[in-house]
Structure 1
Amino acid sequence: MSIKTTAPAEADHVKPGVMQSLTRFGPTLFVLAVMGVGWLAVHEINTSGVSDEEPAEAEASSPNVIVLPAGKLNAAKLVSMPAGIHPVKHVHTIPGRIRYDETKHVDVKAPMDGILAEVLITPGEDVECGQLIAVLRSTEIGRARAEILKRQKQLEIAQQVLQREVTLARNMSDLSVRLDEGQPVEVIEEAFRGLSLGRYRQDILSAYGKKQLAAELLDKIQPLADSGSVSGRTIRERQAERQLAETEFRTARDQATYEVNQALMIAEGDVAEANRQLDLAWQAVESLLGYKEDRSSVVLNDVESLSRLEVRAPLSGTVESRAFANNERVSRGDSLIVLADTKSLYVAANIRESDWSAVSLAEGTPVSVMIPALNDRVFEARIRYFGREVQADTNSVPLIATIQNNEHLLRPGMFVRVTIPIGESREALSVKPESVVQHENQSFVFVTTDDRAFQRVDVSTGQASDDWVEVTEGLRPGQLVVTEGAFLLKSELLLQGEGD
């Protein structure tokens, strides 16, 4: 009876405890059940995706092989190239600066003291060779031009004297012809009436007249001497007189011919000297001006024109700077205007002791010039010359190269990096520079093994140029090496290593 009466009581006591436990832990069990179902679903999805889409990758994966899915492969746009034998030349990069071309950079200075009357250009303006850029007023140029006027007048006088001597020499030549023909004195005097013979008219014609008279007297008494009417003494006296007259005539004629020719030579020399002095006077003016004037059209007839000094551009280029304003006083040697033709510039760099082997490079050898200020843009320059003297403070020799500036992007003073070839080029197994990547100080490339698989191959490199990198170990000629996209493959490889 006791059993029957206590059992229901115990049952009633147990049921309320179970219900309380379910009520307390029910929500937690429900959350755990939901999470378990979710994990099973995600695992199923991932497992089915791997098995359905990329079974080949899962099977082919290894620490040094990258297998790209089709979609990623198309997006990567990888390019491969066979490793081959190419000419490789070692290069070295050194710092440098853009400089003016010294042959096309002119500091226009004041040639003398004066007043800067006009400045006709402004900085940044383009000018042509010979263009008027400034005007000075100077008494010094006035004196120099006055010297030109003096020399011009002296030349005119010398030319007049020369013309007279030429005329006299021509008349004397005509006179000699008539004298040799033996024409009478009256005929000769009539023929040369009004023509210039100078003092030689009297000397020569007088001696010629005496000679003719003595000859006539001798001819008249010669018949008488034959008949015995005139003594032999008289005949001899007439012959002596004739001989004396002949001698005096020849002496006068020879003396006149000599003096005329001498005067002609002196006159020609005076004209030549006057021309030289005038040319020197022009050169003195042009050296002050800095350019050649048009001697046929220049105006020198007033004081203002004499003292005007026109400053003209010595070359075509750009006005880099201007130091004075209008009506300022300037002194000899003051810098007025700086002109430069910047279509071509110099690249100046220093070849240090460790790179002196580059000094053997010939003039005209191309070098690469990288401009950091222009987003690392690369220009080509050509070596102009190497300095011959080693600079003691830097233990280097200067290198100058010419660079074209047709786009007007380059400015003197810009910092540049100059890549120069070192030594002679040689044939070697090479790949493109972008094919070689590094990780943990190890260089390697990616070799294409099939359409989607790429294997890392460690390599040792030698000399490098802008176009090729020598591979001394790790590759064989003909292996397909990734050129474009090697960095992407490196990233994929590193990610794969982290996943493993």
Structure 2
Amino acid sequence: MPNAPSVPQETVSQQSAESQRGFLGAIAKVAPTLFVLAVMGGGWLAVHEINTGGQSEVEESVAEEVAIPDSLTLPAGKIKAAKFETVPAQMQVVKHVHTIPGRIRYDETRHVDVKAPMDGILAEVFVTPGEHVESGQLLAVLRSPEIGQARAEILKRQNQREIAEQLFQRELSLAKNLEQMSAMLDQGVSVDEIENAFSNRTLGSYRQGILSSYAKMQLSSELLDMIEPLANSGSVSGRSVRERQAERQMAETEFRTARDQATFAANQAKLNAEAKLSEADRQLNLAWQSVETLLGYKEDRATAVLSNEEALSRLEVRAPFAGSVESRAFANDERVSRGDSLIVLANTDSLYVAASIRESDWSAVSLDQGTAVSVLVPALDDRVFEAQIRYFGREVQADTNSVPLVAKIENSEGLLRPGMFVRVTIPIGDAREALSVKPESVVQHENQSFVFVDEGGGTFKRVDVSTGHVSDDWIEVTNGLQPGLAVVTKGAFLLKSELLLQGEGE
């Protein structure tokens, strides 16, 4: 077989390169078309997927909405077993309220720390913590020289008053006797008769001055009366008569002067004695007040024993009001200093509720004193008490940005104790009428509130509602319900369960 002619290697390489260049060129020509087709295909697939998924969600949502009916009918057996109860939707007075935390506190006017008024020895203590005491009951006995000195001051002032009283009575008697004597002098009674009338009555130094001048005046009058007839007959000169007349006039002037001076001096002495008696009374009263300040109560001044030296230093500590002994700090025969707390006494028949109104609740500050608020006590099984607002603080506390609220609460049963945590419900805003239903009537599903209306014949209709203010007794309905409809209270949750089960079954 003849051999084929040989092809040079260089020629083969050139042919292979030309073939590759031709293939790449063909690809380059169709590549843009392929890219466009690929993009269009991908977009179509994406749009198809979106449309398919959205339609599926809408169908599911529609299916779910359809699955939950808006009413249901129950057989008579279930209705009898459930014992449904209804209350008509009705207009009720509603008021916005807010609940804030608080604490029970002592009434400061009925919580007293009985302290030692002076240094001394606590001789006896007659009460123990928890014991009830009456107002004025003896709590303890303190012995101190300070109270002894205060009582000794009373004795001193009593003696000074007795002296002032005696002086005043003497001056009063002198003035009275002098007045009576002046009346006799005006009548021209003789000196002897006056002396006899006032022989046993006090006239002091006024007796000599007035009676001596009065006697001289009477003597001069008698001499003048005797000489005047002689002057008419010529037996006595006219000069002698004029001399006697002058002597009588001088005696009368001296008498009137002595009488006026005596009257003025007697009145002045009486006024001075009265002033000294008043000053003695004031000093004695101040001494008693000093003792009563140390005692802490008013002592019976008529029966107080001041003559006994042992009783002088005895200080009785008595209860300022009826209450219970909260604590006792000292035992018998202990030394105490001024200001030491001996006994803490409290009356808890009424207490205070202290709370704070936050910045968001400042609208409540417009509440008046005496407004009623409800106080819930968790420690007493959520029992609710009523309290009356006593006052609001006017200063905002910088650390809490709030103002204090204090209300007075009665504690006649003795259940409340200071320090208890409470919840205070305060009204905010004005009361108004609104359509309302019972709180147990409103149920929820998927963030939608609704009630069930009894349409009769075992049929109950679901009615979606919007609610407003909530209280313990009523819930305000702002939309979706008409007054007078019979709204299910007891059994509303059971109807919700039946409605959901019925929807799942469909």
Give the TM-score of the pair, scaled to structure 2.
0.84
Matched, 1:95 2:93: no
One of 116, 120, 124 as aligned partner of 1:110:
116
Q: Against the structure 1 CA distance between its residues 165 and 372, is the aligned structure 2 distance closer, same or farther, given a 3 Å change threshold? A: same
Matched, 1:465 2:471: yes
- Partner of residue 147, structure 1: 153
User: What per-residue deviation string (whole Å, max 9, x for no partner) do you get for residues 314-356 of structure 1?
Assistant: 1111111111111111111111111111111111110011101
Task: Provide the rounded CA distance (Å) in 2 between the counterparts of 1:71 and 1:127.
Answer: 65
Does the aligned pair in 1 maintain the 2:148–2:312 contact within 8 Å? yes
Deviates more, 1:437-446 or 1:223-232: 437-446
- Classify the secondary structure of the residue corresponding to 1:301: coil
Deviation at 1:66, TM superposition (A): 4.8
Task: Provide the rounded CA distance (Å) in 1 between the counterparts of 2:476 and 2:430.
Answer: 14
Q: What is the identity, as a one-letter code, of the residue corresponding to 2:129?
A: P
- Partner of residue 23, structure 1: none
Q: Against the structure 1 CA distance between its residues 305 and 491, is the aligned structure 2 distance closer, same or farther, given a 3 Å change threshold? A: farther
- Classify the secondary structure of the residue corresponding to 1:136: strand
- Partner of residue 416, structure 1: 422
Q: Against the structure 1 CA distance between its residues 405 and 75, is the aligned structure 2 distance closer, same or farther, given a 3 Å change threshold? A: farther
Does the aligned pair in 1 maintain the 2:454–2:460 contact within 8 Å? yes
One of 247, 251, 257 as aligned partner of 2:253:
247
Deviation at 1:150, TM superposition (A): 0.9
Deviation at 1:112, TM superposition (A): 1.2
One of 371, 377, 387 as aligned partner of 2:377:
371
- Partner of residue 85, structure 1: 91
Does the aligned pair in 1 maintain the 2:68–2:502 contact within 8 Å? no
- Partner of residue 477, structure 1: 483
Task: Provide the rounded CA distance (Å) in 2 between the counterparts of 1:149 and 1:461.
Answer: 80
Matched, 1:206 2:212: yes
Matched, 1:171 2:202: no
Task: Provide the rounded CA distance (Å) in 2 between the counterparts of 1:394 and 1:220.
Answer: 111
Deviation at 1:495, TM superposition (A): 5.1
- Partner of residue 436, structure 1: 442
Matched, 1:390 2:391: no
Does the aligned pair in 1 maintain the 2:452–2:487 contact within 8 Å? yes
Q: What is the identity, as a one-letter code, of the residue corresponding to 1:183?
A: V
Q: What is the identity, as a one-letter code, of the residue corresponding to 1:186?
A: D
Deviation at 1:309, TM superposition (A): 0.8
- Classify the secondary structure of the residue corresponding to 1:424: coil
Q: Against the structure 1 CA distance between its residues 225 and 195, is the aligned structure 2 distance closer, same or farther, given a 3 Å change threshold? A: same
User: What per-residue deviation string (whole Å, max 9, x for no partner) do you get for residues 203-261 of structure 1?
Assistant: 11000000001111111110111112211111111111101100110010000111111
- Partner of residue 237, structure 2: 231
Identity %: 73
- Classify the secondary structure of the residue corresponding to 2:275: helix
Q: Against the structure 1 CA distance between its residues 458 and 148, is the aligned structure 2 distance closer, same or farther, given a 3 Å change threshold? A: same
One of 331, 337, 344 as aligned partner of 1:331:
337
Q: How does 1:176-195 map to 2 (within 5 A)?
A: 176-195=182-201
User: What per-residue deviation string (whole Å, max 9, x for no partner) do you get for residues 58-106 of structure 1?
Assistant: xxx9634354554543444332111122211111111111111112111
Does the aligned pair in 1 maintain the 2:68–2:499 contact within 8 Å? no
Deviation at 1:440, TM superposition (A): 3.3
Q: What is the identity, as a one-letter code, of the residue corresponding to 1:273?
A: E
Matched, 1:296 2:302: yes
Matched, 1:285 2:286: no
Q: Against the structure 1 CA distance between its residues 315 and 352, is the aligned structure 2 distance closer, same or farther, given a 3 Å change threshold? A: same
Deviation at 1:120, TM superposition (A): 1.0
Q: Against the structure 1 CA distance between its residues 249 and 422, is the aligned structure 2 distance closer, same or farther, given a 3 Å change threshold? A: same
Deviation at 1:491, TM superposition (A): 4.3
Q: What is the identity, as a one-letter code, of the residue corresponding to 2:381?
A: N
Q: Against the structure 1 CA distance between its residues 135 and 453, is the aligned structure 2 distance closer, same or farther, given a 3 Å change threshold? A: farther
Q: Against the structure 1 CA distance between its residues 64 and 374, is the aligned structure 2 distance closer, same or farther, given a 3 Å change threshold? A: farther
Deviation at 1:498, TM superposition (A): 5.7
User: What per-residue deviation string (whole Å, max 9, x for no partner) do you get for residues 264-316 of structure 1?
Assistant: 11111111111111111111111111111111111111121111111111111
- Classify the secondary structure of the residue corresponding to 2:257: helix
Q: What is the identity, as a one-letter code, of the residue corresponding to 2:209?
A: D
Task: Provide the rounded CA distance (Å) in 2 between the counterparts of 1:79 and 1:64.
Answer: 20
Matched, 1:357 2:357: no
Deviates more, 1:212-221 or 1:106-115: 106-115
Deviation at 1:489, TM superposition (A): 3.5
- Classify the secondary structure of the residue corresponding to 2:427: strand
Q: Against the structure 1 CA distance between its residues 222 and 339, is the aligned structure 2 distance closer, same or farther, given a 3 Å change threshold? A: same
Deviation at 1:444, TM superposition (A): 1.8
Does the aligned pair in 1 maintain the 2:392–2:406 contact within 8 Å? yes
Task: Provide the rounded CA distance (Å) in 1 between the counterparts of 2:236 and 2:135.
Answer: 94
Task: Provide the rounded CA distance (Å) in 2 between the counterparts of 1:248 and 1:163.
Answer: 29
Q: Against the structure 1 CA distance between its residues 343 and 173, is the aligned structure 2 distance closer, same or farther, given a 3 Å change threshold? A: same
Q: Against the structure 1 CA distance between its residues 283 and 133, is the aligned structure 2 distance closer, same or farther, given a 3 Å change threshold? A: same
- Partner of residue 29, structure 2: none
One of 304, 313, 330 as aligned partner of 1:307:
313
Q: Against the structure 1 CA distance between its residues 101 and 476, is the aligned structure 2 distance closer, same or farther, given a 3 Å change threshold? A: same
Q: Against the structure 1 CA distance between its residues 441 and 297, is the aligned structure 2 distance closer, same or farther, given a 3 Å change threshold? A: same
- Partner of residue 50, structure 2: none
Does the aligned pair in 1 maintain the 2:112–2:344 contact within 8 Å? yes
User: What per-residue deviation string (whole Å, max 9, x for no partner) do you get for residues 359-397 of structure 1?
Assistant: 111111111111111222221111111111110110100
Task: Provide the rounded CA distance (Å) in 1 between the counterparts of 2:101 and 2:243.
Answer: 110
Deviates more, 1:265-274 or 1:65-74: 65-74
**5+ long unaligned stretches in structure 1:** 1-60
- Classify the secondary structure of the residue corresponding to 1:244: helix
Does the aligned pair in 1 maintain the 2:374–2:385 contact within 8 Å? yes
User: What per-residue deviation string (whole Å, max 9, x for no partner) do you get for residues 432-465 of structure 1?
Assistant: 2232233333222222122533333221111223
Q: How does 1:340-351 map to 2 (within 5 A)?
A: 340-351=346-357
- Partner of residue 321, structure 1: 327
Task: Provide the rounded CA distance (Å) in 1 between the counterparts of 2:95 and 2:320.
Answer: 43
Task: Provide the rounded CA distance (Å) in 1 between the counterparts of 2:399 and 2:338.
Answer: 35
- Partner of residue 462, structure 2: 456
How many residues align? The count is: 440
Q: Against the structure 1 CA distance between its residues 169 and 74, is the aligned structure 2 distance closer, same or farther, given a 3 Å change threshold? A: farther
**5+ long unaligned stretches in structure 2:** 1-66
- Classify the secondary structure of the residue corresponding to 1:390: coil
- Classify the secondary structure of the residue corresponding to 1:142: helix
- Partner of residue 138, structure 2: 132
Task: Provide the rounded CA distance (Å) in 2 between the counterparts of 1:482 and 1:424.
Answer: 29
RMSD (Å) for aligned C-alpha atoms: 1.8
Deviates more, 1:390-399 or 1:100-109: 100-109
Q: Against the structure 1 CA distance between its residues 271 and 212, is the aligned structure 2 distance closer, same or farther, given a 3 Å change threshold? A: same
Task: Provide the rounded CA distance (Å) in 2 between the counterparts of 1:447 and 1:487.
Answer: 13
Matched, 1:427 2:425: no
Give the TM-score of the pair, scaled to structure 1.
0.85
Task: Provide the rounded CA distance (Å) in 2 between the counterparts of 1:264 and 1:410.
Answer: 64
Deviation at 1:146, TM superposition (A): 0.8
Deviation at 1:496, TM superposition (A): 4.8
